[in-house]
Amino acid sequence: MVGVASMILLLVIIVLTIHFIRKAKSHKTIRWMSFIFTITLGAIPTTEHLGILNKVQFGFPAEVISFYGRFNISLNLFGYIFNFFFFYWILRLIVKVWRGLTVKKQPINEN
């Protein structure tokens, strides 16, 4: 069930990315998008260790939250920072490629 929810979340993020890339006119938009992606993809469970610790970790691509047992929670600040900059640079690259592929229509001069 978690796999289906993760795939739906990933699909929603891809659709939102395509929508916002078309409207991205400044780096501020890209920063907000990377912040939103960092928070939302921090909810995806990545690894689960069944054993003595019963540890579950969340976050993609870097783990940002770890649960140990019932009430022990660990937040990884470096994971959040890494994810923010990772998504920022990926989105900047996507915007550059998108703008390079889109052809602007030139007015036809009939002289």
pLDDT at 108: 67
What are the structural domain ranges in the chain? 2-89
- Per DSSP bridges, beta strands 65-68 and 45-49 are unpaired
Cα gap 89→45, rounded to integer Å: 23
Per-residue pLDDT, 1: 46
Output the pLDDT for position 78. 92
Q: How far apart are alpha carbons 87 and 35 in whole angstroms? A: 8
Residues 6+ apart with CB under 8 A from 107: none
- What's the confidence (pLDDT) of residue 2? 53
Q: Give the pTM.
A: 0.69
Express each pLDDT in 52-71 by its tens digit: 667 788 888 888 888 877 77
Q: What is the pLDDT of residues 98-110, one digit of tens each?
A: 777 766 666 666 6
Residues of the chain with confidence (pLDDT) below 70: 1-3, 5-7, 9-10, 18, 21-26, 48-53, 102-111
